[in-house]
Amino acid sequence: MMNEEKLVPVFIPALIALLVHAEDSKGDPLTHAEVLSIRDHANVMMMEKMHAQALDESRGYDDIDPENCWYDWQMCRRKMGRQPDLDPGASISMSNADDESMQQAFAQAQQSLPDFRQLIDSSTAGEFHPLVKTRFVLASGNMFVWLLVRESNSEGFLAELFEVPPAMTDHEIGDTFKVANDAVVDWMINHNGRLHGGYTIRAHRATLDAREQAKLDEHLGVRHYL
């Protein structure tokens, strides 16, 4: 009997192909809402992970992660040289809070919050796009989501969703949340390829081999970890 825990969604046709066709037909870059609408209305079938990976290999490329649809699409557009270059924001991630390396990453993020605020205060004319990661408790489990910081004060941050994972059915893009200091599990600023913070990303990266690290760095647009 097939183990449902190993099933993953597979878009047929590939989601990236649908987005390329839609953007070419429109003649202009797709908006955030259009990208998510195409994803939500596309044909999907559930496949075992090993079969999904075999399909990617037969296609010759990896399809877009539906939970990071906007981010991955902007990364693909960059590789294809499509203009204008749009802000991809940051990808969301699921994390195991019980993992020792993640616990250390959470602690580093907490200890360095003063550095984060100093970077935010030094930003001029929106030069930086500061992000915080916080925990959302859902029926399906804990999800750790990156939010875009709009305001900062001594007690925490006002931050908004820039992409809504499928599991977060009660939220919309632009929803804002007050994230108290003690609710921040990570923070990051990617400034021209130089990553400040991002301790959970570093912890995950440390588990990868050199090839996978290079792929992750390219995906994130990071050249230097400060």
Supply the pLDDT for residue 133: 92
Look at residue 101 in the predicted model and tell me its pLDDT.
Answer: 83
Q: Is 26 exposed, middle or buried (0-12, 13-18, 19+ CB in 10 A)?
A: exposed
Taking each helix axis from N to C end, the angle separating 15-26 and 32-41, rounded to the nearest 10 degrees, works out to: 130
Among 14-28, 95-109, 112-126, 194-208, the minimum mean pLDDT is found in 95-109
Residue 116 has φ and ψ, to the nearest 5°, of -60, -45
Ranked by mean pLDDT, the top range of 9-13, 69-73, 184-188 is 184-188
Return the higher-pLDDT residue of 167 and 10: 10
Look at residue 66 and tell me whether its pLDDT is greater than 50: yes
Residues in a beta bridge with 5: none
Distance CA 151, CA 132 (A): 11
The continuous run of DSSP H or E covering 79 comes out as helix 69-79
How many percent of the chain have pLDDT more than 70?
86
Checking if the pLDDT of 2 tops 50, the result is: no
At 187, give phi and psi (nearest 5°): -145, 160
d(CA 16, CA 61): 10
Distance CA 93, CA 57 (A): 24
pLDDT given at position 1: 39
pLDDT mean over 9-35: 90
Spans of all domains in the chain: 4-79, 100-225
Type of residue numbered 70: W
Handedness of CA 92, 97, 102, 104 (dihedral sign): positive
Predicted local distance difference test score (pLDDT) of residue 4: 44
Q: What is the mean pLDDT of residues 104-126?
A: 87
Please choose, from the candidates 58, 52, 69, the residue with its C-alpha nearest in 3D space to the C-alpha of residue 18. 69
The pTM assigned to this predicted structure is 0.60
For residue 165, cis peptide bond before it (omega within 30 degrees of 0):
no
Residue (of 144, 155, 205, 212) closest to 180 by Cα position? 155
